[in-house]
Chain A
Amino acid sequence: DGGITQSPKYLFRKEGQNVTLSCEQNLNHDAMYWYRQDPGQGLRLIYYSQIVNDFQKGDIAEGYSVSREKKESFPLTVTSAQKNPTAFYLCASNTGTGNIQYFGAGTRLSVL
């Protein structure tokens, strides 16, 4: 998992509740990413950030929000607008000029 820490490992959301997933990296990477993984599916990009205080929507950004106030941190909020939030969420990072994305261990989000 190489310097990328995701927490919590398991998270439960009640209907109408916003929840925030944490992603911290100590690799001094400029870029960070959030992906969603559903069973039997590949990874789909939610949001990414190439530098501090800047981020872009990925392919499935609706119902999610992010912030990038610090280089080391890229938290993801799953809002109540996301009607099907149950999934495995993965955070990744890479250097500004590198291509290999390194992943955290993931957070599994379920709905109560």
Chain B
Amino acid sequence: GESVGLHLPTLSVQEGDNSIINCAYSNSASDYFIWYKQESGKGPQFIIDIRSNMDKRQGQRVTVLLNKTVKHLSLQIAATQPGDSAVYFCADGAQSGGSNYKLTFGKGTLLTVNP
């Protein structure tokens, strides 16, 4: 993830609409990308991940798109529900010794779903 300043980007959508949350990363060596959802006062929850050998991956109501050329990642949420309201973080990773990835997190986007 990249530094985008102290103010959290926000996205407000109507219930039932599709949401698209964007993220840019800066490390050309990153080959693993992951999205988390964090509700207020809780720890982040894993949503979906993707490796650099893929451009798109789909889960249940979510799709992640990866554009390595411009170092951009997006999370699409279909038929957004009030329960989807949270802060969404992207993270990118490059191997750092052994087989584990060290993740770099973006600052997050606050998604608000209006009923």
Contact = CB atoms under 8 A, between A and B. Distances in A.
Describe A's contact surface by its main secondary structure: strand
B59 interface: no
Interface of B: 1, 6-8, 32, 34, 36, 41-46, 49, 89, 91, 93, 97-103, 105-108
Interface in A1-36: 1, 4, 6, 31, 35
Contacts of A42: 1, 89, 105-108
26 contacts: A1-B43, A4-B43, A40-B7, A41-B6, A42-B1, A42-B105, A42-B106, A42-B107, A42-B108, A43-B105, A45-B102, A45-B103, A48-B102, A50-B97, A50-B98, A50-B100, A96-B98, A96-B99, A97-B100, A99-B49, A99-B93, A99-B100, A100-B34, A103-B44, A104-B43, A106-B43
B89 A43 contact: yes
Contact of B46 (A43, A102, A105): A102
Size category of the binding interface on chain A: 20 to 34
A100 B49 contact: yes
Closest 8 CB pairs of A and B: A103-B43, A42-B105, A43-B105, A42-B107, A99-B101, A40-B8, A97-B99, A103-B44
Nearest to B99: A97
A106 B41 contact: yes
A100 to B, nearest CB: 5
Interface of A: 1, 4, 6, 31, 35, 40-45, 48, 50, 56, 90, 92, 94, 96-97, 99-106, 108
A46 to B, nearest CB: 12
Nearest to B98: A50
A104 B43 CA distance: 6
A48 B97 CA distance: 12
Given A40-B7, A43-B89, A99-B93, A94 B100 contact: yes
